[in-house]
Chains A and B, each alone.
Chain A
């Protein structure tokens, strides 16, 4: 893969020399736009299943491909995009690494970090005039009481995902849910969003059960025997319900529910039918090209984090191309303004909510091998954008910080 990227870079230089540029761009000197990517490479368990691909560079590859796409466009506008990669080792000092990026002059930051670290960098005083893209943390609080003026979110939050799932379940008339929640912190956050979604779309959570499991060794020689006995018992004696809705962000047990529940019921949520920003089965709206391009580039499938990072990097290029300006103030104002829209292979332009900085986007509902549906579902209407039937709409917001440059 590296070989082909080097080849591409060489080609870009040649193209810049020979390709005339539009009149608008001819008036301005060539510009370089540095974009920074920061993550902590947390030591993770191996993937849950042998079917899953390891993703040691989860997120990073999306940002890198975004830079490559930006530069293909940039060769026509004399704009060159670079990626400053700050990959902090497990337990390393993320804030120090972030300060290092700021010291180099970086203004556009792709933050592939969990919520606590995202807030830590956003609150660094020198970070006031930077644009930080959250491409990982789904926490609703980051779009609510913990929102920050210098942060935009290309990753959908739990409420958006839960609402997208709930709309589909209601379309199916699967209105009675058994909610099964793991013991992880993220499991609880997603469960909160699911309860909110049930309330909003008039579903009934007939019972809630906690599954106490912590992910252990992923590989075992006698995997199924125990599980086959455990799960029917765990799901026994639930009064009339249509569907198991599971919140197991860590892949500790959710997958085991399928085909093993006491009653024959489908499983949705973090396993089974999943609401997600991106899925390897997504081929609608030209997504096949994205999937092929990414697989060729990264040697694996694109993940949600890769997609969110790609969108962040593409959003910056969209702003610099349309405005023909590359400074922080112009890019920030344009991205947050009414003219902005980025295409993300979801059949409509994606824009940022001005009340909390969240990217509006359709939610994919994916089974293991196919795209099952896309929310918002038909019939969920909205005065301004049907995408605002998902997550926190303007009247719901608890985000108190007015975004800058409005």
Chain B
């Protein structure tokens, strides 16, 4: 899940190198096991496995780094995980079948895609109240929010659009047509671009957020691999705007893109069916969830090398990193 790391990281670097990989903890939702695997960032070993709600998928860190929010899709709720206590301490309403969600940069509210219901649900994480529901396209999925918190983007998988939503009025202000099955939306740190993956289209669309036009459609080609196996899902762009990483599903690779020129620089072999990714606080590492090989891969961002894979639970889906 997208975890507003920008704000968290800046704050942490200001008070010292607390955000280093050695001190961090990685949390992985295991969709099939109804658990979260806790991985120690220093040793890169599994530290604990914690039972959570049914079909845990999206996972994101609160802005104060004290809580994790976890989509328990088949329980139709969001679970609140207390990091100090290492336990579920409460739930939030979510609407039916929450899959992906995103937290406002200010830390509240939480915007949740209801995959089964053509809705985005807005929830106040402090009061635990549902604020409103926003009707969107068929099978809402990807969720992105602009750094200023004013624009929310939801992608709908069967409607094939990125819906731009004003977070004041909760109205859709624009719709941008994307290739087939848009899965994930990521704003760049400067807010000027939105990157959207299309799983079945096999592409990434880069949208200029001022004009809301697609300025670049990035395609992929892995030698010896059928085009149909290339199914982009997660995308992450580094804070400095230099690199983008795209998880390519059953192609078992993460594409590395020069985010300035949009050229694909490399394909990093990770585990099987790679879907979601998260940076650590200082963005020295990128963690990927590999659903079909039951592991996560650790990518060293500086060297662009996969340095380790760690076995987690059954069908890892989402990942969040707490400093």
Question: Residues of A with Cβ closer than 8 Å to B?
Answer: 11, 15, 18-22, 24, 69, 72-73, 76-77, 286, 289, 292-293, 314, 318, 321-322, 341-343, 347-349, 385-387
**A347-B231 contact given A286-B157, A289-B116, A289-B139, CB 8 Å threshold:** yes
Within 8 A of A (CB), among B93-116: 97, 115-116
Q: Which residues of A contact B135 (CB under 8 A)?
A: 11, 15
Residue of A nearest to B118 (CB): A72
**Least CB distance, A380 to chain B, in whole angstroms:** 11
Question: In the bound complex, do residue A72 and residue B138 qualify as a contact, i.e. CB atoms below 8 Å apart?
Answer: yes
A343 and B175: CB pair below 8 A?
A: no
8 contacts between A and B (CB under 8 A): A18-B171, A72-B118, A76-B137, A76-B163, A289-B139, A318-B160, A349-B228, A386-B226
Chain A residues positioned under 8 Å from B137 (CB to CB): 72-73, 76
B139→A20 contact, CB < 8 A: no
The number of chain B residues with a CB under 8 A from chain A is 32
* Contact yes or no, A76 B161, CB < 8 A: yes
A347–B273 Cα distance when bound, in Å, is: 11
Contacts of A20 in B (CB 8 A): 172-174
Is residue B177 within 8 Å, beta carbon to beta carbon, of the partner chain? yes
**Complex CA–CA separation, A11 to B171 (angstroms):** 14
CB neighbours of B118 from chain A (8 A): 72
Within the complex, the shortest CB–CB distance from A351 to chain B, in Å, comes to 10
Could you count the A-B residue pairs with CB atoms below 8 Å apart for me: how many are there? 80
Known: A76-B137, A349-B200. A343 touches B172 (CB 8 A): no
Contact in complex: A22, B250 (CB < 8 Å): no
**Chain A contact residues: over half helix, strand or loop, or mixed?**
helix
B116–A76 contact, CB under 8 A?
no
Provide the bound-state CA to CA distance between A342 and B181, in Å: 9
Q: How far is the CA of A387 from the CA of B156 in the complex (A)?
A: 26
Expressed in whole angstroms, the Cα–Cα distance for A219 and B118 within the complex equals: 42
Interface string of B112-138 (1 = CB under 8 A from A): 000110100000000000000001011
Distance between B10 CB and nearest chain A CB, rounded to angstroms: 35
* Interface contact B228-A76, CB-CB below 8 Å: no
> Is B176's beta carbon under 8 Å from chain A?
yes
Within 8 Å of chain A (Cβ to Cβ): is B201?
A: yes
Nearest 6 pairs between A and B by C-beta?
Answer: A73-B159, A348-B228, A76-B175, A343-B200, A349-B200, A343-B180
Q: How far is the CA of A76 from the CA of B175 in the complex (A)?
A: 7
B158 contacts chain A at the CB level, 8 A cutoff: yes
Give the CA-CA distance A292 to B97 in the complex, in Å.
11
Return chain B residues, CB-CB under 8 Å to A11.
135
Could you tell me the distance between the alpha carbons of A73 and B115 in the complex, rounded to whole angstroms? Answer: 15
Closest-CB distance, B251 to chain A (whole angstroms): 12
- Cβ of B76 to closest chain A Cβ, rounded Å: 12
Contact A348 B139 (CB under 8 A): no
| Contact in complex: B116, A292 (CB < 8 Å) | yes
* Chain A residues with CB below 8 A from B226, complex form: 385-386
Residues of chain A with a CB closer than 8 A to B173's CB: 20
- Most A C-beta atoms less than 10 A away, residue of B118, B158, B176: B158
Q: Are A73 and B228 in contact (CB under 8 A)?
A: no
Q: Once bound together, how far apart are the Cα atoms of A341 and B226, in whole Å?
A: 16
Minimum CB distance partner of B164 in chain A: A20
Assess the A293–B116 pair: CB atoms within 8 A.
Answer: yes
